[in-house]
Amino acid sequence: MIDLFLPSFHVHSVFSLVIYHLSQKTFTVEEAVETIGFGRFHIALFLIMGSTGVVEAMEIMLIAVVSPLIRCEWQLSDWQVALVTTMVFFGYMIFSILFGLLADRYGRWKILLISFLWGAYFSLLTSFSPSYIWFVFLRAMVGCGVSGHAQGLIIKTEFLPTKYRGYMLPLSQVFWLAGSLLIIGLASVVNPTIGWRWLIRIASVPGIILILAFKFIPESARYNVSTGNNKAAVETLERIAKMNRSVMPEGILVESVNERRGRFSDLLDSKYLRTSLQIWIIWLGISFAYYGVILASAELLERDMVCSLQTAAAAELGDDSEESHSPCHCRLFAPSDYRIMIISTIGEIALNPLNILGINFLGRRLSLSITMGCTALFFLFLNICTTSTGLIGFLFMLRALVAANFNTIYIYTAEVYPTTMRALGMGTSGSLCRIGAMVAPFIAQVLMSASFLGALCLFSGVCVVCAISAFTLPIETKGRASCQLKGFFS
C-alpha cells in the first residue's frame, strides 16, 4: 500500500516545488541595472575605464610624432616609415580576435588586465630598440596589447543603464582626446631635448598607474550570468546598488545559462550575417579614414605639401637646398607644426554634442551615414589651395567627423550583439578594422607623396561606401531598452 502512494506523493512534491518557484519574483541583470540606475559607481566606472582611452591614444599617436625622428636616425624611406604603423595594427588585428574569444570565455576584467600589462612591458622595451627591425617588432607587440583595451568599453556598456549609453559612451571620446593632446604636448617638449626614447618611456607611465585602479572595477555581471555564476553577479549588483545608494529589484536573479559562447560561427548565423558583414565594412572604412587623417596631417606638415606652405618653404630654403633633395627627407617638426596638430586634434570633441543628439534622436544608422558622407566631402576639401588657417580648419573638421564615426559604430556594435558574443563581435570588428589602419599608412605616407589628389579620392570613396553601408544596416539599436534589450543582453 505504501508503494502505491509513493508516485502520487512524488508528483505532488514536484508540483508544489514548481508552484513555489513560479510564485517567486524574478529579475534579469538588465532589469537590475535599470532599477539601480545611474550613480557614483558609474562615475568611477566612467573615469577608470574611460582612462583606458588615454593610454590607447598615447600608444597609437606615438608613431605620428616620432616618425620624423626615426626616419632621420635610421635613414628610412617612405615605405619603411609606413611599415611601422602597419605592423602595430597587424598585431592589433591578430590579438583583437584572440582577446575577444578569451574575454567571452574567461571574463572581460582578466583580459583587460593582461592586455595592459603586456602593452606597458613591450612599450618600455621599445625605448631600448637598437635598430629599426627591433623597433618594428616591439611596436607590433605593443599593438597586440593595446587590442585588449576594447574590453574596457564592453564593461562600461554592460553596466550602464540603457538610456545613458547614448550619452555617456560618446563622452568617452574626451579621454582619447586627452591622450592625443598629452602625447603631442609631451613630444613638443621631450623630442627636441632628451629624445624620442624618453618620450616612449614617459608615455608608458599612465598605463602602469591605471593598472592599479582596476581593482575597483568588478567583472561584468552579464558575463557572470552568461557562465552560470549568478552568485557573483548578485554580489556585484548589490555592491553597485550600495555604492549608488539605491536598491536591488525584488526576487531572485534568473537568466538562462548559455553553453555556447563566443563562437565565430555565431557572427555568421543567418540572424546576424548581413549585420556583421556591413559592420565589418564600416569598421574597416572608419579606421582607414581615421588613421589616414592622423598620418596625412603629420605628412602634410613634415613635407610642406600644402601649397601655401610650399611657397613659404621655398622662399626660406631655396630650390637647391640640401633638404629638398634628401632621399629620406630628414625634417623634424617645428613648434608651429605641433600647434597645428594640437588644434586639429581638439576637433575630436567639437561635434560631440551634435553627435550625441544625432545618436539619440536620429538613430545610430542615420547619424553614422550623415557623418560618413561629410567625412568624404572634407577629404576632398584638403585639395583646395588654402592658407595655413584654412588647412587647420579642414583638419579640425575631419578629426571631428572621424571621431563621431568611431563613437557611433562603437555604440552600435556593442548594442547589436548579445552578451554571449558581444566581446567576440567587438573583437572581430576591431580586428578587421585594423586592415584599414594597416593600409592607411601606405596611402597617407607613400601614395600621397606621388599623387596627392589620388590619395584624397581614395579616402573619400571609402567613406562614401561606408555611408551607404551604414544607411542600409538591417537593425536599428536606438531605444532598445527593457523588454527589447533583454534578448540582446541575456
User: Does 434 or 67 have the greater pLDDT score?
Assistant: 67
Q: Rounded CA gap, 161 and 276, in Å? A: 25
Residue type, 452: F
Whether the per-residue pLDDT at 402 is higher than 80: the answer is yes
Most confident of the following: 90-99, 153-162, 169-178, 438-447: 438-447
Tally the C-alpha atoms within 13 A of residue 133's C-alpha that lie toward its C-beta: 0
Q: Which residues does 458 contact at the CB level (< 8 Å), separation at least 6? A: 443, 447
Nearest to 278 by CA among 359, 351, 363, 368: 368
Most confident of the following: 59-68, 262-271, 328-337: 59-68
Say if pTM beats, i.e. exceeds, 0.85.
Answer: no
CB 125 within 8 A of CB 463: no
Three-state secondary structure readout of the chain: CHHHHHHHHHHHHHHHHHHHHHHCCEECHHHHHHHHCCCHHHHHHHHHHHCHHHHHHHHHHHHHHHHHHHHHHCCCCHHHHHHHHHHHHHHHHHHHHHHHHHHHHHCHHHHHHHHHHHHHHHHHHHCCCCCHHHHHHHHHHHHHHHHHHHHHHHHHHHHCCHHHHHHHHHHCHHHHHHHHHHHHHHHHHHCCCCCHHHHHHHHHHHHHHHHHHHHHCCCCHHHHHHCCCHHHHHHHHHHHHHHCCCCCCCCEECCCCCCCCCCHHHHCCCCCHHHHHHHHHHHHHHHHHHHHHHHHHHHHHHHCCCHHHHHHHHHHHCCCCCHHHCCCCCCCCCHHHHHHHHHHHHHHHCCHHHHHHHHHHHCHHHHHHHHHHHHHHHHHHCCCCCCHHHHHHHHHHHHHHHHHHHHHHHHHHHHHCCHHHHHHHHHHHHHHHHHHHHHHHHHHHHHHHHCHHHHHHHHHHHHHHHHHHHHCCCCCCCCCCHHHHHHHCC
CB 340 within 8 A of CB 392: yes
The phi, psi pair for 252, rounded to 5°, reads -115, 150
In tens, the pLDDT along 316-356 reads: 444 443 343 444 456 777 787 888 888 888 887 777 788 88
Q: Rounded CA gap, 282 and 465, in Å? A: 8
Which residues are bridge partners to 31 per DSSP? Answer: none
pLDDT band at 262 (very low <50, low <70, confident <90, very high): low
Lowest mean pLDDT among 37-51, 160-174, 279-293: 160-174
Average pLDDT, the chain: 80
User: Does 319 or 62 have the greater pLDDT score?
Assistant: 62
User: How many Cβ atoms from other residues are within 10 Å of residue 369's Cβ?
Assistant: 22
C-alpha cell at 388: 595655413
Q: Rounded CA gap, 251 and 23, in Å? A: 10
The size of the chain, in residues, is 490
Q: Rounded CA gap, 157 and 160, in Å? A: 5
CB 429 within 8 A of CB 279: yes
User: How many Cβ atoms from other residues are within 10 Å of residue 105's Cβ?
Assistant: 14
Lowest mean pLDDT among 77-86, 97-106, 296-305, 349-358: 296-305
Whether the per-residue pLDDT at 1 is higher than 80: the answer is no
Instruction: Give the burial string for 158-197 (b: 16+ CB within 10 Å, else e).
Output: bbbbbeebbebbbebbbbbbbbbbbbbebbbebbeeeebb
Q: How far is CA 395 from the centre of its chain?
A: 21
Whether the per-residue pLDDT at 132 is higher than 60: the answer is yes
For cell 553614422, the residue is 368
For cell 589651395, the residue is 385
Whether the per-residue pLDDT at 308 is higher than 50: the answer is no
User: Does 10 or 404 have the greater pLDDT score?
Assistant: 404
CA angle 451, 453, 457 (to 5 degrees): 120
Q: How far is CA 280 from the centre of its chain?
A: 14
**Would you state the pLDDT for residue 481?**
41
Whether the per-residue pLDDT at 113 is higher than 70: the answer is yes
Q: Rounded CA gap, 444 and 288, in Å? A: 10
Whether the per-residue pLDDT at 488 is higher than 50: the answer is no
For cell 568624404, the residue is 376
